[in-house]
Amino acid sequence: MKARTFRRHLRESFKSLGRNSWMTFASVSAVTVTLLLVGVFIAIMMNLNGLAGNLEKDVEIKVIADPAAGQEAVAALEKKVKATEGVLEVEYSSRDAELDKMIKSFGDELNLYRQSNPLGDALYVKAKDPHKTAAIAKKIDTYDYTYEVVYGQGKIEKLFKVLNTGRNVGLVLILALLFTAMFLISNTIRITIVARKTEIGIMKLVGATNNFVRIPFLLEGIWLGILGSLIPMAVISIGYYKLYQEMAPKLQEELFQLLPTTPFIFQLNGLILFMGVFIGIWGSFMSVRKFLKV
Amino acid sequence: MIVMKDVYKKYPNGVVAANGINIEINRGEFVYVVGPSGAGKSTFIKMMYREEAPTSGDIIINGINLATLRNKRVPYLRRQIGVVFQDFKLLPNLNVYENVAFALEVIEETPQDIRKKVNDVLALVGLTQKVRMFPNELSGGEQQRVSIARSIVNVPKVVIADEPTGNLDPDTSWDIMKIFEEINARGTTIVMATHNKEIVNTIRHRVIVVEGGLITRDEYGGEYAYES
């Protein structure tokens, strides 16, 4: 295609937006509403995903060494645990440090135990993949000088199950929304094209190739997609920024943290823009295809 | 120039619109195609610019066999043929100039060439004063002139006209015929389906009668007449 022809297609696509201003308005509104919904939903999903990630990161195995074991035995155990497959890091905490923690949580009465500390040294183990926690814990339990292995048995499995279900449901909902959006937009674009069915027929009769007819419509679809994503991008960017400014300080001590505005807002905007353009192209491609057989 | 050999056309609904048509039209001829409604006249015309493809047989125009022409090549065939319709088929959103220029934009002519050719052809059909007007601001005769201008702007060897005067009053029809005569005088082959008896009997040319999907009469300088 010559550059001049492409410029013509560009010009035609813009003119067409103006000439069919009402249909343009309808299409852009449809894109705007759906992308706004999808965008908000994705923002929520991604934050929940962040929360899930944080929760997973916090999952750890507490290995209590046999209180009767000596320094060397505990060091050997630590070495062995570190070498276990799937272990990310091991943190050593002496029996005295463990007692201090206990006193902190349960009160000064426990000071009695300072004389003869009944606790064992502890190792805090993090798995590379939090989902493998249970398997690793089981393995460590078989090592010598292991007194007890604690990792929130049962609760962790349940937590992971809930998180996974949540993620899947969210994904399905986003896909369903996107599909609805595409359907809506392709229908709206189809109406604009149906209105120009004769136009396309005439183009073909004077010898226009399919691409010659198609390209201005595809470009028009791209503009509709871009126009339709402007408001969702602005609303979500500003909305999320304000929300973050308001909420982030309050959530400082909590497990749940909002994703920082940069790069999150940019990623989200890119995604919305991409979806808008994709929906626009797809919608006009599907709609114009039917009318090219003249 | 145009050759049809044993052309047979059956529509999916079972209607046979061409039942073994054989014809040869030479370069520079002016041919009327007449016949009652539903006799296969329109199909005859439509097969020439490949809006319909024959079920069997060969149609050769400018050396291209339309029966074996791949769909992808159809636009290139149509660029060698000018088509004029009863209902003008103008693009309502484009003005007179743009409607005519469109046929040249499609074949990617330079803007300079487009300007020159469009202005020339609009002068030929007498619409120089109305280039900026839109189809709905023009009379039927004027719209048909635009349609004719569009069909001849890239100097096709053949112009096919499907009842070009069907929607026009008698005076306007004569004006349109004058334009076709002029185009024909420049060496362009013209095939025109028509119901206008007066025109056929006054401006004498070859007359082909299509009845029941067959050519029942083919006469040079013939009159408008068929059994019906």
Q: How far apart are alpha carbons B127 and B139 in whole angstroms?
A: 12
Phi and psi torsions of B26, nearest 5°: -90, 165
Mean per-residue pLDDT, A175-194:
74
CA distance B70 to chain A (A): 13
When the pLDDT of each residue in chain A is averaged and rounded to a whole number, the result is: 84
The domain ranges of chain A are 3-55+158-292, 60-150
pLDDT in tens, A26-51: 888 888 988 898 888 888 888 877 77
- Given CB atoms, is B45 within the 8 Å cutoff of chain A? no
Span A152-178, mean pLDDT? 79
Residue A78: pLDDT over 80: yes
B79 interfaces chain A, CB cutoff of 8 Å? yes
Cβ of B106 within 8 Å of Cβ of A294? The answer is no
Q: What is the pLDDT of residue A115?
A: 80
Q: Where do the domains of chain B lie?
A: 2-220
Please tell me which residue, B116 or A173, carries the higher pLDDT value. Answer: B116
Q: So what's the pLDDT on residue B186? A: 92
* A260 Cβ neighbours under 8 A, 6+ residues apart: A244
Contact criterion met (CB < 8 Å) for A19 and B83: no
**Which residues on B lie below 8 Å from A20 (Cβ)?**
none
Cβ atoms of B62 and B80 within 8 Å: the answer is: yes
Q: What percent of chain A is modeled with pLDDT above 90?
A: 11
Is there a contact between A203 and B106 if contact means CB atoms under 8 Å apart? yes
pLDDT for B34 equals: 93
Distant-in-sequence, close-in-space partners of A117: CB < 8 Å, separation ≥ 6: A67, A95, A96, A99
A189-201 mean pLDDT: 75
For residue A26, which phi and psi values (nearest 5 degrees)? -65, -45
Q: Over 80: is that where the pLDDT of A253 sits?
A: no
Give A205→chain B minimum CA distance, Å.
7
Q: Does B155 reach chain A within 8 Å, measured CB to CB?
A: no
Return the axis-axis angle of helices A210-247 and A261-289, rounded to nearest 10°: 150
Choose from A1, A206, A220 for mutation: most chain B CBs within 10 A: A206
Q: What residues of A are in contact with residue B93 (Cβ under 8 Å)?
A: 19, 199
CA B179 to CA A184: how far, in whole Å? 49
Q: What percent of chain A has pLDDT over 70?
A: 97
B111 touches chain A (CB under 8 A): yes
Q: Using 70 as the pLDDT threshold, list the residues of chain B that sit under it.
A: 227-228
pLDDT at B228: 52
Burial (CB count within 10 angstroms: exposed 0-12, middle 13-18, buried 19+), residue B107: middle
CB contact under 8 A, A206 and B106: yes
Q: Which residues of A touch B (CB under 8 A)?
A: 2, 4-5, 8, 19, 198-199, 201-210, 212, 294
pLDDT at residue A15 is higher than 70: yes
In CATH, which of 3.40.50.970, 3.30.70.3040, 1.10.10.60, 1.20.1430.10 is domain A60-150?
Answer: 3.30.70.3040
Output the pLDDT for position B187.
Answer: 93
How far apart, in Å, are the Cα atoms of A290 and each of A185, A190, A287, B115?
16, 10, 6, 33
Backbone angles phi, psi at A60, to 5 degrees: -145, 165
Please indicate whether, in this complex, the C-beta atoms of B106 and A4 are within 8 angstroms of each other.
no
CB contact under 8 A, B79 and A294: no
Are B51 and A212 inside 8 Å of each other by CB? no
Q: Write the DSSP string, A38-81.
A: HHHHHHHHHHHHHHHHHHHHH--EEEEEPTT--HHHHHHHHHHH
Highest mean pLDDT among A26-40, A134-148, A194-208, B145-159: B145-159
DSSP B72: G
B106–A212 C-beta distance less than 8 A: yes
Which chain A positions have a beta carbon within 8 Å of B106's beta carbon? Answer: 203, 206-209, 212
- In this predicted structure, the answer to whether residue A293 has a pLDDT above a threshold of 80 is no
Partners of residue A89 on adjacent β-strands: A126
pLDDT of residue A194: 76
Domain B2-220, CATH 3.40.50.300 — does that match?
A: yes
Check CB contact under 8 Å for A204 and B79.
no
pLDDT computed for residue B133 by the predictor: 96
pLDDT of residue A107: 81
Q: How far is B205 from chain A (nearest CA, A)?
A: 27
Q: Is the pLDDT of residue A294 over 60?
A: no
Mutate to test the interface with A, among B93, B112, B158 (most CBs of A within 10 A): B93
